[in-house]
Amino acid sequence: MDYIIVGLGNPGKRYENTKHNMGFLALDLLAERNGIKINRLKHRALCGDGAVAGRKVILVKPQTYMNLSGESVRAVMEYYKAPPSALLVIYDDIDIPLGDIRIRKKGSAGSHNGMRSIVGNLGYDDFPRIRLGIGDGERARGDSLAGYVLGGFRKGQVSAIEDAISRAALAAECLLADGADAAMNRYNARAEKKGEKPAGGADAEKGEKSAGGADADTEKGGADEKR
């Protein structure tokens, strides 16, 4: 196995199209683009294996709720005896503007509970990650952190969310094909042009998937384990 790619989110229909499930949504699109089915339950996660950019991968969606994600990721890493460099995590970040993505080679978990759990369980943070921005100032108008991240997308946010998810999937393909530096140079600023081509020359439009398209917020939840 060359790479273990983890998308973070909360399981269940209640959270399907919420901001905190951007990692799940991006991983689903990556799977669709590369003909991988994420449908096997093991290591407390939904998993699927296949190839991305010519690399053998396993795609992982922890089913533990967000703040226990690290328990699932640690089980996968130990099972495959994978080094830190083989792990790629995709997740939402409220400190990044809505629609932007950021790739880093390593770094702290920040305020994200899922990443805190992963770093805490693994004991290291020197692995690459792709962060999808969900920040747009809405919290300043009264939402709690939990209420905001567990809420759905407003109509005016859908286009930016869909674009970010598409670019995150392309960035993952680029990272596997050409390395983290190339992916950072290409995707760390919002693209000015549409129709980008992924690594390997596949059509960028292939298999693009909606972020959910919800016009109004989904039901919000405030349980700590889901943040």
**Spatial CA neighbour of 45 closest among 26, 58, 30, 31:** 58
Between CA 63 and CA 180 the distance in angstroms is 27
* Cα atoms found within 13 Å of the Cα of residue 5, Cβ hemisphere only: 33
Q: Look-up: residue for tokens 């959270």?
A: 15
Whether pLDDT at 72 is above 80: yes
Q: What is the mean pLDDT of residues 80-84?
A: 97
Q: What is the CATH number of domain 3-218?
A: 3.40.50.1470
Whether 20 is a known active-site residue: answer: yes
**Spatial CA neighbour of 132 closest among 174, 84, 176, 171:** 171
Alpha helices, DSSP H only, in the chain?
22-33, 69-80, 113-122, 145-149, 158-178, 180-187
Question: Which residue among the candidates 5, 6, 17, 20 is catalytic per the annotation?
Answer: 20
Residue 207 sits at the vertex; the CA angle it makes with 84 and 198, to the nearest 5 degrees, is 55
Whether pLDDT at 88 is above 90: yes
Residue 28: the pLDDT is 97
Q: What is the mean pLDDT of residues 144-148?
A: 57
Between CA 65 and CA 117 the distance in angstroms is 11
Task: Give per-residue pLDDT as tens, 169-197.
Answer: 999 999 999 999 999 999 996 544 444 44
Q: What is the mean pLDDT of residues 141-150?
A: 56
Task: Give per-residue pLDDT as tens, 195-214.
Answer: 444 444 333 433 333 333 33
Chain mean position to CA 11: 14
Whether pLDDT at 38 is above 80: yes
Neighbour tally for 209: CB within 10 Å: 17
Kindly state the tokens that stand for 172: 């993952």
Residue 64: the pLDDT is 95
